[in-house]
Amino acid sequence: MFHWLEKNPFFFAVGVFLVIAFAGIIEILPNFAEASRPVAGLRPFTVLELAGKNVYMKDQCIACHSQLIRPFKAETDRYGQYSLSGEYAYDRPFLWGSKRTGPDLHRVGNYRTTDWHENHMWEPSSVVPGSIMPAYKHQFTNIADLETAYAEAVTVKNVFKTPYGDDIQAGKAAWEAYKPKVLAEAQKIAANMKNKDVKDAVAAGKVPEVVALIAYLNSLGTSRYEAKK
Amino acid sequence: MQSNAALEYDYSVAKLFTYTTILFGFLGMLIGTLIASQLAFPELNYLLGEYGTFSRLRPLHTNIVIYGFTLSGVWATFYYSAQRVLKVSMAESKFLMFIGKFHFWLYFVGALIAVITLLMGITQAKEYAQFEWPIDIVIVLIWVLWGVAMFGLIGIRREKALYISMWYYIACFLGIAMLYLFNNMSVPTYFVAGGLGNVLHSVSMYSGTNDALVQWWFGHNAVAFGFTVPIVAMIYYFLPKESGQAVYSYKLSLLSFWGLMFVYLWAGSHHLLWSTVPDWMQTMGSVFSVVLILPSWGSAINMLLTMKGEWNQLTENPLIKFMVLASTFYMLSTLEGPIQAIKSVNAIAHFTDWIPGHVHDGVLGWVVFMIMAALFHMAPRMFKREIYSKKLLEAQFWLQTTAVVLYFTSMWIAGITQGMMWRAVDEYGNLMYSFIDTVTVLHPYYAIRALSGVMYLTGFLMFAYNMIKTMTSSRELSEEPQFRSPMA
């Protein structure tokens, strides 16, 4: 049979494809219906948090930080309750990471504050002496892309039925109407920050990347849902 | 043309990909050395403003090495060896010649755009699948062009039976096509939201655990079909050619090829051990990873036994040295991987520096060594000149071998130290170390790794210099060498 296949490239290719596709069909498909069910009380990311998630992706925090707490005592002692599948139901993409050059962040919203994150992003070694993380000062001046984050919310609501409110609708007018809510949320974060330029920018209706990122980091943990006691 | 007349093969496409292999190899390893140094000396993060931080450069490094260097190498060797094993010249078909050149130029332009968007931070944040949807579409086009060239050449072949290398190139083509398409399924937000925001932005079709499953089914097997399969294709062609020996066993080739095809894709879930992926899937990943030793070692042993009775060539010909050491590193890497996929070992190894250690003994020792040896074998035949310097080749070999050993030993120690410190508890069951303790303790190992990077990069520059000299100013050859590549 193998000799025959080697002389008939078409059937050879079909044979190879069937053999390699087999594992995917058995392993991946059955999980799809099951795993995307959200834990009770989980809410999707707000538009500001989505903008922050996009900053997290843009600056590739994922290169050094994981968001997956494994079910070991050392990890639950260090970071908090181990991660559950249903907590990630609205995460597109998943941001588990594959390397911990820095600590895990899945519960960071439970034990770090806006102020801590502000200092940390400005100069990591000021709050963690010996840190090898670079400073992310450009996040204090770069303006977050809220409109793209809003477009993302509209997309996941319309295409994947993510439970957002009726005020999230496609189109420029809907976005203009929604924008004040995002700014109000940003003002709450900025109120707890010290940096004068950031405060001024938010007051003027522009949201620096660091504000969105902090909103996102603060949402990580159990603050997006009521954890079962 | 009569079937027994000597064929004039056309190497114009193979040459183009040879140039980009050298260019992207240099860039990828330069950035690799820089980011390795940043972990040891964090001040180096500030050389290029926001574009120079470790986090921004790390995906650039992986993508340039995988899609820039390795794929260029794969295609350079493909456009060279496919003609020869199929007994057909590219020059015989104007259409295939056009496809081959179009393939190259679309790839080159696509690669430049990809580099720029990654630097700007336009990314899906999926490892090794960072590109946003417009670039994905270009990548699919590039892939289709390669497919047309491959099956076009197969269609007009004179040699009826496909040589082993062609099996592996076909598998590389099909495997990556399937994996890449499924993993990069995403919805562009701009259009759904009625013209809002950035047109390049998209969201993944899959969420959370599902997204992770698809990503690592892709991520692991992109290694399989990008770093294993086409490199095996190379060694099956170039080692017998360079040594003048027939492949040791046809049966072993069959077993290892079909075994690899069937087993490899099951192993992807070993990246997700102890995660929220269902247990049965984790177990499958773990078990099949161990089974994977068989087909992997099958190919490697087949290659080593090809040198049976001819081991003297190892001392006489540095290209044989490169290829034999590549096979050996392949064996090391494919034993190390399954060990890391055992659940109890993975509990320590995952998230630590042992993982980049494993990747790099595979890539630096197996992939890069094999590609460099293949290009050295091709150069005298493509450019009709002998290899510029044997001495330089020897020196390069020892410098880079030392560098690889320094790299993986330092990362083994670093990774296991990290893993053990994270879980260490005192007599009362309290954690003994804060996270930052586990960072600062790694400084010496990171410094050793940076040094190994500098050494390996220097070796690669020696390779590039030797290649460029071979192309331009080495002694000309009157006829094509039969087996061993001539070198001064």
Segment B121-147 shows an average pLDDT of: 96
Check CB contact under 8 Å for B192 and A158.
yes
Cβ of A177 under 8 Å from any chain B Cβ? Answer: no
Residue B376's nearest CA partner among B360, B394, B361 is: B394
Distance from CA of A30 to the nearest CA of B (A): 10
Compute the distance between CA of residue B185 and CA of residue B67 in angstroms, rounded to an integer: 19
Q: Please give the pLDDT value at position B122.
A: 95
Check CB contact under 8 Å for B167 and A12.
yes
Q: Please give the pLDDT value at position A194.
A: 96
Check CB contact under 8 Å for B125 and A60.
yes
pLDDT digits (tens, 9 = 90+) for A54-101: 999 999 999 999 999 999 999 999 999 999 999 999 999 999 999 999
Cβ of A126 under 8 Å from any chain B Cβ? Answer: no
How many residues can be counted in chain B?
Answer: 488
pLDDT digits (tens, 9 = 90+) for B245-270: 999 999 999 999 999 999 998 898 99
Q: B-contacting residues of A 188-227, CB under 8 Å?
A: none
Instruction: Determine the 3-state secondary structure of B386 from DSSP.
Output: coil
> Is the model's pLDDT at B335 over the cut of 60?
yes
> Is the model's pLDDT at B387 over the cut of 70?
yes
Compute the distance between CA of residue B80 and CA of residue B103 in angstroms, rounded to an integer: 15
Cis before A103 (ω within 30): no
Q: Please give the pLDDT value at position A3.
A: 87
Compute the distance between CA of residue B315 and CA of residue B320 in angstroms, rounded to an integer: 9
Check CB contact under 8 Å for B171 and A134.
no
Segment B131-141 shows an average pLDDT of: 96
Tell me the pLDDT band of A30, cut-offs 50, 70 and 90: confident
Which of A25-29, A37-41, B191-195, B357-361 shows the lowest mean pLDDT across its residues? Answer: A25-29
Check CB contact under 8 Å for B55 and A63.
yes
Tell me the pLDDT band of A33, cut-offs 50, 70 and 90: low
Q: Phi/psi at A66 (nearest 5 deg)?
A: -95, 165
CA nearest B276 in A: which residue?
A85
Check CB contact under 8 Å for A175 and B49.
no
> Is the model's pLDDT at A228 over the cut of 70?
no
Distance from CA of A27 to the nearest CA of B (A): 7
Cβ of A163 under 8 Å from any chain B Cβ? Answer: no
The per-residue pLDDT of chain A, averaged, comes to 94
Q: Please give the pLDDT value at position A157.
A: 97
The per-residue pLDDT of chain B, averaged, comes to 95
* Interface with A, mutate which of B168, B189, B442 (most A CBs under 10 A): B189
Distance from CA of B180 to the nearest CA of A (A): 13
Give the residue, B115 or A23, on which the prediction is more confident. Answer: B115
Check CB contact under 8 Å for A150 and B197.
yes
Tell me the pLDDT band of B275, cut-offs 50, 70 and 90: very high
Give the residue, A69 or A1, on which the prediction is more confident. Answer: A69
CA nearest B156 in A: which residue?
A9
pLDDT digits (tens, 9 = 90+) for B3-49: 455 688 999 999 999 999 999 999 999 999 999 999 999 999 999 99
Distance from CA of A6 to the nearest CA of B (A): 5
Q: Please give the pLDDT value at position B1.
A: 41
Q: Do B387 and B380 form a contact (C-beta atoms < 8 A)?
A: yes
Q: Using a CB-CB distance cutoff of 8 angstroms, which residues of chain A are in contact with residue B268?
A: 27
State both tokens at B216.
């690592």
Q: Please give the pLDDT value at position B2.
A: 44
Cβ of A59 under 8 Å from any chain B Cβ? Answer: yes
Residue B46's nearest CA partner among B60, B57, B32, B61 is: B57
pLDDT digits (tens, 9 = 90+) for B64-93: 999 999 999 999 999 999 999 999 999 999
Tell me the pLDDT band of A34, cut-offs 50, 70 and 90: low
pLDDT digits (tens, 9 = 90+) for B297-325: 999 999 999 999 999 999 999 999 999 99
Distance from CA of A225 to the nearest CA of B (A): 16
> Is the model's pLDDT at A118 over the cut of 70?
yes
Segment A195-221 shows an average pLDDT of: 97
pLDDT digits (tens, 9 = 90+) for A142-153: 999 999 999 999
Residue by residue, DSSP assigns A124-165 as: HHHHSTT--PPP-GGGGTSBP-HHHHHHHHHHHHHHH-----
Q: Please give the pLDDT value at position B274.
A: 96
Q: Which residues are registered as beta bridge partners of B431?
A: B425
Residue B90's nearest CA partner among B172, B150, B144 is: B150
